[in-house]
Structure 1
């Protein structure tokens, strides 16, 4: 592994710890969203209602794991299943109004924290960082999906 890749690997480890700290520091209000709940709610908000199998694939998780996580969201009133109109044996998961509100509040707190963290960065640096993160995520997805 060359020095650049070593530094990237090291900084990714640091980034994971920082992301956890940001997650914990942005929990507020009556609803505390676990990381998995936040991820599922974001996926539904950004990509629209989905079957549980699609969610499992999106996160690279076993369907039983997603089912447990979704059940917790349903119990909390943040997501609900409805029958799939194209296949009545399947269900589609979507945000409830309460889930959408909880996600909106949580995202606002997170985005405010990101604004504080990056307040000294130029707009060009922010855009470049976003572009590089997107490129990294696309490359990781391609590798994991066998493309």
Structure 2
């Protein structure tokens, strides 16, 4: 492993610790969103209503784990299941109006904090970081898909 790869691995470890701290300090409003709840709500908002199996696959989780997490969202009134019109045996999960509102408030607060972090960065560095982070995430996803096929 070359020096740059070692620094990347080290900085990813730091980033993972920071992400947990960011999650804790950006929880706002009447509803405290667990990290998993926030992820599911973002997935639904960004990708639209989904079957639980699709959510489990998107997060690389066992269906029983997703089911428990979804039940927590439903009990908070943030998400709701409806019957899948293409297969009446399955259900589709979607945000409720309250879930959409809670996610919007949380995202706004997180993005405000991110603006504070990036305030001293110039526009070109922000664009480069966004591009490289996107490329990194796409590479991770491609590796995960290849692993799942193996």
What SS class does the counterpart of residue 32 from structure 1 fall into? coil
Distance in 1 of aligned mates of 2:75 and 2:68? 11
Task: Write the mapping of 1:82-97 to structure 2, written as runs, cut at 5 A.
Answer: 82-97=82-97
Give the TM-score, by structure 2 length: 0.96
Distance in 1 of aligned mates of 2:71 and 2:16? 26
**Residue of structure 1 equivalent to 2:81:** 81
Matched, 1:110 2:110: yes
What SS class does the counterpart of residue 36 from structure 1 fall into? helix
**Residue of structure 2 equivalent to 1:31:** 31
Could you list the per-position Cα deviations for residues 110-134 of structure 1 after superposition, in whole angstroms to 9, with x for gaps in the alignment?
0000000010001111111011111
What SS class does the counterpart of residue 145 from structure 1 fall into? helix
Unmatched 5+ residue regions in structure 2?
none
Distance in 1 of aligned mates of 2:134 and 2:84? 31
Runs of 4+, deviation exceeding 6 Å: none
**Residue of structure 1 equivalent to 2:19:** 19
Matched, 1:6 2:6: yes
Distance in 1 of aligned mates of 2:87 and 2:32? 34
**Residue of structure 1 equivalent to 2:101:** 101
Unmatched 5+ residue regions in structure 1?
none
| Matched length | 147
Root-mean-square deviation (CA, aligned residues, Å) is 0.8
